[in-house]
Amino acid sequence: MGGLMARIWALRAALRLARRDAWRNKGRSALIAVMIALPVLAASTVSVIYRSDEKDPQDYVQMTLGDQAQASLSFGSGEAIEQSPDGQDWTSVSQVDGDSKPPTLEQFRDQAEGMISTRDRVVVNRLVYANRGIRFRDRLLSTRIREFDYAATGVGGVISQVSGRPPKQDGEVVVSQELFEDKGIRVGDRLTFTASRESEPKALEVVGVVRGPSMIGKPWLIGPVGSLLPSNMSTGNSRWEGLSVEESLLVVGPDPVTWDQVLDLNQIGVAVLSRSVVENPPPADRVPFRGFDYGGGLGSTSTIGIAVVVIGLVLLQIALLAGPAIAVGARRNQRSLAIMVSAGAEKRHLRAVVLATNGVIGLVSSLIAAVAGAGLGAVTVLVLRERFGQQFVRVDIHLLDLLGLALVGGLTALAAALIPARQAARLDVVAALTGRRGQVPPRLRVPLAGLLVATIGVVLAYLGSEKRHELVTVAGLALTEIGLVAAAGAIVALAARLAVRLPFAPRFALRDAARQRGRTAPAVAAVLAAIAGGTTALTYLSSERLHDEHAYTPSSAHGVVTVTGQEDFTTADLGAVEAALHQSMPIGEVAAYYALKPPKDDTEIYLSLKRSLQNQCPLESQQTELSQAVIERLRNTDPRCKIFSDEPGTLRFSDNNPFDDGTALAMLTGTVVPADADALKSGRVLVFDPLQMWPDGTVRVEVHQEPAIGDSESATTTVTLPARLSTRTPKLFDPVYPISAAKALGVSLRPGGLFASTSRMPTPAEEDRALAAVRDTADANLSVERGYQGNSSAIVLLALVVAAGIVTLGGTFTAVGLAAAEGRADVATLAAVGASPGVRRRLAASQAGVIAGLGGILGVASGVLAGWILVRMQQNQVNGITYNSSGELGGRWSLDLPWTYLLVFGLGVPLLAVLIGFLTTRSRLPLVRRLGQ
């Protein structure tokens, strides 16, 4: 018992000394605190953003049911289903008769009301996810239309009123805050709604502005039930003007919808999200639904392993940033520690004082950083939701996450102090009291072990990317970084050996860095790690952007306006549409094309080209099942199995059976090829894929007629036509047929639409107005080819550069400041032998350049290597090509280096560090007390 009490008293004494030492050396303590707090601040910010973005069943309840509703009933086609308790997944377990007519909304409503409590009632909720039938002044709006009585009793929290009032009668609507802000719609404005070309325009008055958790970032228009959408549609795959209508019922009232009622509703094809079931899930043996395990979720071994590796790298970064300050602080305290030894302190007391000092600083700074990061994360979530339309349901701050991060920060500070504490325990008391500085020769095995670990990491990452093992790849990249960190000291020493011909200041800085590797190597390693992480992300994001850009297939030449008519489009409509375009857009020349006309209603007709036997891919005729490796090899090596649109610049026009005499083709592609126009005028099919040509210079055109509903089978005929292989650029994915070939094919033609060139790129507002003008004259759609319009990653790239730059400068000037504090005697000696006052500035600038320069070069090199590994892993997905759900080409991955950002990392940040070091260092050389040796 006495021994335990003695240890407790010793710990109290160590903590008291730690508090006094931290307070006495405020500058050094603040430096250590900032180095530990920065990563904790970043991690806690990311934690809040991630937790807020991660939706759990309760979030779906809030988004769909609000604060009061009991359940949401979503209708299907009448097939019995099995569902998960949270209502997010379900699957059909029976099929309805194909000849039976799906029930109407009223029929489903009657069935559903008979299965819920008699004290509850239902509220209809119907919506369409896309529509261009809403006109505001001279523009057509892309909105989501919803019929829903959100002000009904028991429906609270689903939609909230921002201004105005709820719609009460036919002709009144409210708009979402996005329409209010982005389109300039105000309460009292008039809109016009045209459900179809056959219906009369309907005047709508905006009576309010609303918002809701499920409406964030999306334009919505809401009216009373029955005021906007037809009421006689069947449930299931309901269609209105070619759009899918989603219908559901909200159950409101005092009684919850139980799991037994959910199972009964499943039998009539209703999927249920029940508040009561989500809050009190049924036991597993009462849930017939067995969801699919897609893998890669939060609980997967791979994801957990990757998270552990990433967290480990963050901890390493904290240790690297704080380590030099802790080590130098311990050396600056050597005299105080020596006095403690002379007063009777033991080695364990010295270790305890060093550990306690840094543990207290680390824990306090981590707690403050965690709280500040939570606040920053909350503000970020609110800004992203309010200003950028990101769908965050709530700000989710997990106290356990913050406490864990604070504890990790404190423990990491302790871990970074272990080596200085161990060195303090082996203190040479006489040397410390006389002011002598001992030199410990570096150990060769540390850098050698680091190089070995880095090599192993590169090999693991390469093999992991080859086999597409994410955990192995990430672990290999982490080992590579750890190995380079361990070898940083040897790299500094090697650089010092090569500095013999440099001017005095950089030569002195390199040699001082080599002598004091305990201070310099962690700083170089911290810069290396920060820039390597940023460079890896920059390289991957840049390659991903290039992949997405290559995957994009334009429909026409850049800036071309395309008007595509529906089946009733006529020659008279062409002239009216052209006149409307001239009035609303900056268009130049116009050319019309022709399309297939179905022989009768409810019949589809389309054309395709049949390849000759020797041009067919072996995969098309293969009867046995092939392995994925064989399929990938064939797709990669056999030109017959490659996707034709993989070629750069291939256009994919939306109407895959265009007929033309050459004028529309020139407008569509933006290039004039007289030989192609002559071929079409002479009756030859224009093809762009050489594998579609037969040896005799012809093509085999298959004419497919899909039957009307109720007919038994489709009809296909094959016609041989003369053809020409076009060499124009850009090419088209589909062939172009001559107008004169319609008779030989046995088909009829109609005006398909037109193409128009532009003198400049039309604005989105001009496009909206042009669409409105076109819709006034004909049943047609309009589009403008604007090229690849993917989400810009410039903000993300800039954020990465800024974050890595801050860490780089922080780590650099930590080491520079410590070097200046330790090297005061050296600088004083230089002054004594005649050095000019400016030498101190040049030394500080050189020391900053050494640390930031070495770390920047190594970081960029290792980051590019890691980025290449990650891109290579994507290349091995399907030989560099990704395919969408329809089997269409998605794009090829290739390494793309963001040279501007890499130069900023490799040259810009080090030069900035040199400039800051030069400008912020005082020129006056210090006078120091010289102790006897």
The 10s digit of each residue's pLDDT in 789-817 is: 765 555 556 666 666 667 667 666 666 66
pLDDT of residue 207: 94
pLDDT of residue 50: 79
Question: Distance (Å, rounded) from C-alpha 41 to C-alpha 375?
Answer: 10
Region 112-128 average pLDDT: 89
Region 251-278 average pLDDT: 91
Question: Distance (Å, rounded) from C-alpha 791 to C-alpha 549?
Answer: 11
pTM of model > 0.85: no
Question: Which amino acid makes up residue 79?
Answer: E
Q: Which percentage of the chain shows pLDDT scores above 90?
A: 15
Q: Is the pLDDT of residue 933 over 50?
A: no
Question: Distance (Å, rounded) from C-alpha 856 to C-alpha 862?
Answer: 10
Region 751-775 average pLDDT: 89
Confidence at 443, pLDDT banded by 50, 70, 90: low
pLDDT of residue 885: 34
Q: Residue by residue, what is the 3-state secondary structure of 507-540?
A: HHHHHHHHHCHHHHHHHHHHHHHHHHHHHHHHHH
Per-residue pLDDT of 874-892, as tens digits, reads 766 544 444 433 334 445 6
Question: Which amino acid makes up residue 22?
Answer: A
Backbone angles phi, psi at 242, to 5 degrees: 80, 5
Per-residue pLDDT of 162-188, as tens digits, reads 899 999 899 999 998 877 776 778 898
Q: Where are the alpha helices (DSSP H) in 389-469?
A: 399-416, 418-425, 429-434, 445-467
Question: Distance (Å, rounded) from C-alpha 742 to C-alpha 645?
Answer: 26
Per-residue pLDDT of 680-724, as tens digits, reads 999 999 998 888 999 999 999 999 887 755 555 678 899 999 999
Q: Is the pLDDT of residue 127 over 80?
A: yes
pLDDT of residue 310: 59
Confidence at 153, pLDDT banded by 50, 70, 90: confident
pLDDT of residue 398: 83
Tokens coding 520: 């310099």
Per-residue pLDDT of 535-561, as tens digits, reads 887 888 888 888 777 777 888 888 999
- Element of type H or E holding 748: strand 748-758
Of 13-22, 122-131, 218-227, where does the model show the most confidence? 218-227
Q: Is the pLDDT of residue 297 over 50?
A: no
Per-residue pLDDT of 823-832, as tens digits, reads 666 666 666 6
Region 435-450 average pLDDT: 63
Q: Is the pLDDT of residue 260 over 70?
A: yes
Confirm if 129 and 140 have CB atoms less than 8 A apart: no
Q: Which percentage of the chain shows pLDDT scores above 70?
A: 71
Q: Where are the alpha helices (DSSP H) in 256-346?
A: 259-266, 275-279, 301-332, 334-342
Could you tell me which of 133, 98, 910 has the C-alpha nearest to residue 530?
Answer: 910
> Where is pLDDT greater, at 575 or 883?
575
Per-residue pLDDT of 298-340, as tens digits, reads 444 555 555 555 566 666 666 666 666 676 666 666 666 666 6
Tokens coding 332: 């600056």
Region 599-608 average pLDDT: 80
DSSP 195: S
Q: Is the pLDDT of residue 275 over 90?
A: yes
Of 52-56, 646-650, 877-881, where does the model show the most confidence? 52-56
pLDDT of residue 48: 87
